[in-house]
């Protein structure tokens, strides 16, 4: 038959060794192409790793020291000469609760009026008996709000009157800067933030062990503070972020997943759904600040939600996260093998049964990952929050999502712009470390949930 | 309409005969020489995927308690026709079916008919084993559960066990009913899919190349199973293997390029085909 000719191997007339030589030559070429490609790949990875290591290294280097801050370990005497107050009122037999409350408040006001700075000065003096202290020097060394710490101790326990107890008083931000060498010690007096006497006092107290570096718990227990920078913390911003995350999870996940299911499984394929699909994809690429503008216009101006409230912030971040969740959920729905759908339909399952009994469970890990990526993205978002007033200075920890609050990244932004740069630069780095840790934890949760869901199938 | 081609005239005659003979025509002969009741009846079925026509005027009668095999070269429309019978074509975008397909005289494409109920009556086993990524028990229990076939938990358990037994799988999996079905071997998975289909007690079982993804031993087991199931079910099987058609089926239909070329008792189709194309295919000239 005629076909047998064409079936013969090509180049059958060529001598065998010539063929081998040609194959070897092409093999050499392929191998060197492969090596070259591997080198490209490895150098790309190396460069990326280098940058990441540099970034983490520099943040760690700057931020880790900020987790420790100086505190004065002093013996505080609640001397009756200074703490001149009447005994704490007790509930008298015939007294109404309202009257008692009023008496208590009056007493507390009296306690607040005590010259606590004097108590602190006496305590510091006791730690450095040979130095002649002025009130100004002491106040420059001890963080201003520490006097309220003593007041609170006394309110809590009036029995302290006349007693001497060990107290740890946080040093001021400027003392922190000086001790950590974050300001040049050789600068002249006119360019230092602390007077010469205060600097000497600090050095003296540090040498004699009165000032120690302690773990900075205020970073985790306090809200932001302007008056006492050394006591500024992240709790307020953290709670703000937490509220927003909860709002995002509660709103964006159900709405996003439901839209994705509808669009992917039920919606007819026509011009309108095509348009919606294109727009959702585009929304995912809209700069986040635009969502902030939208939020300001809709939630603040139209719905009159309070400014700076995590509720408004959470709604804005929900809008921003929705496209991410919709797209990721649709992709995982698309990825479910058609054979599972056929199996369910072939058994007589309705479309809804097919989706909810068989398709959706397979996509849980995907949806979970998408959610956590979306939430992490929202957690790290700053720009849209600035437009709804979440960059306000808030010195209290919000108790409800309607209270004023900031968010972790916004707090970082605010600290980075603080005028006391020498103190706040390391604090900012510390805040970044905390934010990164929160992100890593979220990712760890995502990986854990993902592997759990996958194991179940 | 005054001038008819000979083929048209012949078809016209056949139609009139069918109408006139009515009941008598509702039975069909299989090789064991027993007349069989016709369960599924298709007349002039045309299927289109978008603009493209995949089936041309297919008419066939499928008898109960027998295995009917569809053979033919790949792409000739066997699966397409099979999917018409339980309306799985509904799930394909752009697929359109016209003509008449009836189960026990009931039009399957009647708009009032509930597809979900239809698929409970006509089960399907697919080419690639596709158990749900759930436990073996859940796989089999799913159908009865959604159709509300079991009144109690013990009844459901009984259905599962019986179905697994009918699918000759029970002995192999009885100790691991609560392990995932996807962990079974390919052949076991396919028998699990058969058990899952049987569990809803369908009247007809459609199988689309059920052995094409299986090794010879698993294939033999499934074939044996099909032969047993024939006692109680009407089975339609698509196969690309003529040997398989010869082994398991009582009736064979040969499809070519979207046309049902020839259909009849299996031994007749294989030993003395009426059509040249059938002859060529069976002797391996093409396909
Ligand atoms: N979902 C589909 N969309 C479009 N065309 C299809 C689809 N399924 C099958 N076809 C076409 O219909 C014809 C018959 O296919 P099929 O029924 O799968 O053949 P077989 O099962 O006999 O191999 C083929 O030409 C195929 O390309
Ligand atoms: Mg096929």
pLDDT at A394 > cutoff 50: yes
Task: Count structural domains, chain A.
Answer: 2
Phi–psi pair at A233, nearest 5 degrees: -135, 180
More confident residue, B93 or A5: B93
Q: Are residues A201 and A312 in the same domain?
A: no
pLDDT at A222 > cutoff 50: yes
Do strands B35-49 and B122-125 pair parallel, antiparallel, or not at all (unpaired)?
unpaired
Across the range B86-94, mean pLDDT stands at 89
CA A396 from chain centre, in angstroms, equals 17
Please report the pLDDT score of residue B36 as a whole number.
Answer: 74
User: How far is the C-alpha of B254 from the C-alpha of B78, rounded, in Å?
Assistant: 9
pLDDT at B17 > cutoff 50: no
Mutation target vs B (from A339, A344, A347, A356; most B CBs, 10 A cutoff): A347
Do strands A68-77 and A211-215 pair parallel, antiparallel, or not at all (unpaired)?
antiparallel
Identify which of A351, A325, A190 has the alpha carbon closest to the alpha carbon of residue A250.
A325
* Beta carbons of B40 and B61 less than 8 angstroms apart: yes
pLDDT at B131 > cutoff 70: yes
Torsion of CA B120, B121, B125, B130, to 10 degrees: 0
Q: Answer yes or no: is A6 within a domain.
A: no
Average pLDDT, chain A: 90
Identify which of B244, B230, B268 has the alpha carbon closest to the alpha carbon of residue B31.
B268
pLDDT bracket for residue B9 (50, 70, 90): very low
| Per-residue exposure over B42-56, b if at least 16 CB sit within 10 Å of its own CB, e if not | beebebbeeeeebbe
| Per-residue exposure over A163-179, b if at least 16 CB sit within 10 Å of its own CB, e if not | eeeebebbbbbbbbbbb
Helices vs strands, H then E, count in chain B: 11, 11
pLDDT at B27 > cutoff 60: no
User: How far is the C-alpha of A257 from the C-alpha of A277, rounded, in Å?
Assistant: 14
User: How far is the C-alpha of A408 from the C-alpha of A245, rounded, in Å?
Assistant: 11
Tell me which of A167, A186, A216 is where a domain ends.
A216
Strand, helix or coil at A131? coil
pLDDT at B21 > cutoff 50: no
Tell me which of A165, A185, A216 is where a domain ends.
A216
Please report the pLDDT score of residue B20 as a whole number.
Answer: 39
CB-based contact, A13 to chain B, within 8 Å: no
* Beta carbons of A237 and A410 less than 8 angstroms apart: yes
Q: Are residues A411 and A328 in the same domain?
A: yes
* Beta carbons of B163 and B195 less than 8 angstroms apart: yes
* Beta carbons of A80 and A161 less than 8 angstroms apart: yes
Q: Are residues A211 and A245 in the same domain?
A: no
Q: Which ligand is nearest to the CA of B83?
A: 1
Phi–psi pair at B155, nearest 5 degrees: -65, -40
* Beta carbons of A431 and A408 less than 8 angstroms apart: yes
Q: Are residues A411 and A295 in the same domain?
A: yes
What pTM was estimated for this model as a whole? 0.79
Q: Are residues A73 and A203 in the same domain?
A: yes
Joined together, the tokens standing for residue A376 give 């992490």
Q: Answer yes or no: is A35 within a domain.
A: no
Considering only CB atoms, which chain B residues are within 8 Å of A343? Answer: 126, 130-132, 193, 196
CB-based contact, B181 to chain A, within 8 Å: no
List, for residues A100-125, the tens digit of each pLDDT value: 899 999 999 999 999 999 999 999 99
User: How far is the C-alpha of A82 from the C-alpha of A390, rounded, in Å?
Assistant: 42
B166 C-alpha to ligand 2 centroid (Å) = 26
Neighbours of A288 (CB within 10 A): 18
Domain containing residue A252: CATH number: 1.10.3720.10
Joined together, the tokens standing for residue A241 give 């972020």
pLDDT at A168 > cutoff 80: yes
Please report the pLDDT score of residue A389 as a whole number.
Answer: 87
Question: Would you list the DSSP string of A11-34?
Answer: TTTS-HHHHHHHHHHHHHHHHHHH
* Beta carbons of A228 and A219 less than 8 angstroms apart: no
Q: Are residues A87 and A186 in the same domain?
A: yes
Identify which of B7, B110, B103 has the alpha carbon closest to the alpha carbon of residue B57.
B7
User: How far is the C-alpha of A449 from the C-alpha of A165, rounded, in Å?
Assistant: 49
Q: Answer yes or no: is A25 within a domain.
A: no
Please report the pLDDT score of residue A67 as a whole number.
Answer: 95
Joined together, the tokens standing for residue B154 give 């013990």
Weakest mean pLDDT among A145-154, B32-41, B123-132? B32-41
Residue nearest to atom 5 of ligand 1 (CA): B49
Across the range A230-244, mean pLDDT stands at 93
Q: Answer yes or no: is A156 within a domain.
A: yes
Kindly identify which residue of chain B lies nearest to residue A265, measuring between CA atoms: B91
Strand-pairing partners, residue B237, are: B69, B207
Closest Cα in chain A, distance from residue B89 (Å): 11
Q: Are residues A283 and A179 in the same domain?
A: no
Strand, helix or coil at B206? strand
Listed in sequence order, the residues at least 6 apart from A183 whose beta carbon sits closer than 8 Å to its beta carbon are A177, A192, A193, A422
Q: Are residues A245 and A183 in the same domain?
A: no
Listed in sequence order, the residues at least 6 apart from B164 whose beta carbon sits closer than 8 Å to its beta carbon are B136, B140, B170, B173, B174, B192, B195
Considering only CB atoms, which chain B residues are within 8 Å of A349? Answer: 116, 142, 146
Range of the domain at A452: 235-456
Q: Answer yes or no: is A41 within a domain.
A: no
Joined together, the tokens standing for residue B284 give 């391996």
pLDDT at A438 > cutoff 60: yes
From the list A339, A349, A361, which residue is nearest B126 (CB)? Answer: A339
Do strands B27-29 and A211-215 pair parallel, antiparallel, or not at all (unpaired)?
unpaired
Q: What is the helix (H) or strand (E) element at residue B107, kind and residue range? A: strand B106-107
Strand, helix or coil at A282? helix
Q: Are residues A423 and A350 in the same domain?
A: yes
Tell me which of A216, A243, A278 is where a domain ends.
A216
Q: Are residues A210 and A295 in the same domain?
A: no
- Which residues sit with Cβ closer than 5 angstroms to ligand 2, an ion? B 79
Q: What is the helix (H) or strand (E) element at residue B89, kind and residue range? A: none
Q: Are residues A182 and A268 in the same domain?
A: no
Q: Answer yes or no: is A245 within a domain.
A: yes
pLDDT at A252 > cutoff 90: yes
A269 C-alpha to ligand 1 centroid (Å) = 21
Helical H segments across A284-420, by residue range:
288-295, 310-335, 338-346, 351-353, 360-379, 383-386, 408-416
More confident residue, A7 or A103: A103
Q: Are residues A240 and A209 in the same domain?
A: no
Q: Answer yes or no: is A44 within a domain.
A: no
Q: Answer yes or no: is A378 within a domain.
A: yes
pLDDT at A455 > cutoff 80: no
More confident residue, A14 or A341: A341
Q: A447-451: list long-range contacts, CB under 8 Å, 24+ apart.
A: A449/A365, A449/A368, A450/A365, A450/A368, A450/A369
pLDDT at A7 > cutoff 60: no
Please report the pLDDT score of residue A86 as a whole number.
Answer: 86
């Amino acid at each position: 038959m005629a076909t047998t000719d064409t079936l013969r191997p090509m180049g059958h007339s060529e001598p065998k060794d010539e063929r081998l030589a040609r194959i070897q030559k092409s093999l050499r070429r392929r191998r060197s192409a492969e090596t070259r490609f591997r080198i490209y790949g490895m150098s790309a990875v190396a460069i990326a790793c280098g940058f990441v290591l540099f970034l983490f290294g520099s943040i760690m280097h700057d931020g880790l020291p900020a987790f420790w801050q100086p505190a004065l370990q002093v013996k505080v005497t609640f001397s009756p000469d200074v703490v001149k107050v009447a005994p704490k009122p007790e509930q008298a037999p015939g007294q109404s609760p309202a009257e008692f409350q009023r008496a208590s408040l009056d007493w507390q006001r009296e306690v607040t009026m005590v010259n606590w700075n004097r108590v602190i000065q006496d305590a510091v003096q006791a730690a450095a008996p040979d130095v002649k202290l002025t009130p100004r020097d002491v106040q420059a060394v001890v963080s201003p709000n520490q006097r309220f710490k003593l007041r609170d101790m006394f309110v809590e326990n009036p029995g302290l009157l006349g007693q001497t107890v060990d107290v740890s008083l946080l040093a001021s931000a400027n003392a922190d800067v000086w001790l950590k060498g974050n300001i040049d010690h050789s600068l002249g007096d006119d360019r230092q933030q602390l007077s010469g006497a205060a600097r000497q006092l600090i050095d003296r107290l540090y040498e004699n062990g009165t000032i120690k570096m302690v773990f900075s718990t205020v970073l985790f227990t306090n809200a932001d503070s302007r008056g006492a920078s050394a006591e500024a913390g992240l709790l307020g911003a953290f709670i703000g972020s937490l509220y927003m995350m909860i709002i995002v999870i509660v709103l964006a996940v159900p709405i996003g997943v439901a839209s994705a299911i509808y669009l992917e499984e039920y919606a007819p394929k026509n011009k309108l759904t095509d348009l919606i699909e294109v727009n959702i994809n585009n929304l995912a690429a809209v700069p986040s600040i635009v969502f902030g503008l939208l939020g300001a216009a809709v939630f603040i101006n139209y719905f009159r939600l309070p400014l700076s409230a995590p509720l408004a912030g959470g709604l804005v971040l929900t809008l921003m996260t929705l496209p991410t969740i919709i797209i990721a959920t649709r992709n995982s729905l698309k990825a479910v093998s058609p054979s599972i759908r056929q199996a369910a339909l072939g058994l007589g399952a309705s479309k809804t049964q097919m989706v909810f009994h068989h398709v959706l469970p397979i996509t849980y890990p995907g949806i979970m990952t998408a959610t956590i990526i979306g939430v992490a993205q929202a957690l790290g978002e700053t720009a849209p929050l600035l437009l709804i007033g979440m960059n306000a200075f808030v010195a209290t920890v919000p108790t409800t999502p309607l209270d004023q609050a900031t968010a972790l990244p916004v707090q970082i932004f605010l600290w980075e712009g603080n005028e006391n740069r020498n103190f706040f630069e390391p604090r900012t780095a510390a805040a970044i470390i905390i934010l990164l840790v929160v992100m890593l934890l979220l990712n760890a949760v995502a990986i854990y949930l993902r592997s759990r869901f996958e194991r179940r199938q | 309409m005054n001038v008819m081609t000979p083929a048209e005239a012949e078809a016209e005659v056949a139609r009139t005969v069918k109408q006139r003979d009515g009941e008598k025509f509702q039975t069909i002969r299989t090789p064991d020489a027993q007349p069989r009741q016709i369960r599924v009846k298709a007349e002039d079925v045309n299927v289109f995927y978008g603009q493209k026509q995949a089936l041309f005027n297919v008419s066939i009668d499928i008898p109960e308690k027998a295995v009917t095999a569809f053979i033919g070269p790949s792409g000739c429309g066997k699966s397409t026709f099979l999917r018409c019978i339980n309306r799985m074509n509904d799930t394909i975008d752009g697929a359109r079916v016209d003509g008449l397909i009836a189960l026990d005289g009931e039009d399957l494409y009647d708009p009032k008919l509930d597809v979900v109920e239809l698929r409970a009556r006509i089960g399907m086993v697919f080419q690639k084993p596709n158990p749900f990524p759930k436990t073996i028990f859940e796989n089999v229990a799913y159908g009865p559960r959604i159709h509300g076939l079991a009144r109690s938990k013990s009844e459901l358990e009984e259905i599962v066990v019986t179905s697994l037994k009918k699918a000759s799988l029970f002995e192999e999996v009885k100790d691991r009913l609560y392990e995932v079905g996807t962990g079974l071997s390919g052949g076991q998975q396919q028998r699990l899919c058969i058990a899952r289909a049987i569990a809803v007690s369908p009247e007809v079982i459609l199988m689309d190349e059920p052995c094409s993804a299986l090794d010879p031993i698993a294939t033999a087991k499934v074939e044996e199973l099909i032969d047993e199931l024939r006692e109680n079910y009407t089975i339609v099987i698509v196969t690309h293997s003529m040997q398989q058609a010869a082994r398991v089926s009582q009736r064979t239909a040969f499809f070519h390029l979207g046309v049902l070329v020839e259909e009849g008792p299996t031994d007749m189709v294989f030993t003395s085909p009426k059509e040249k194309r059938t002859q060529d295919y069976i002797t391996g000239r093409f396909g």
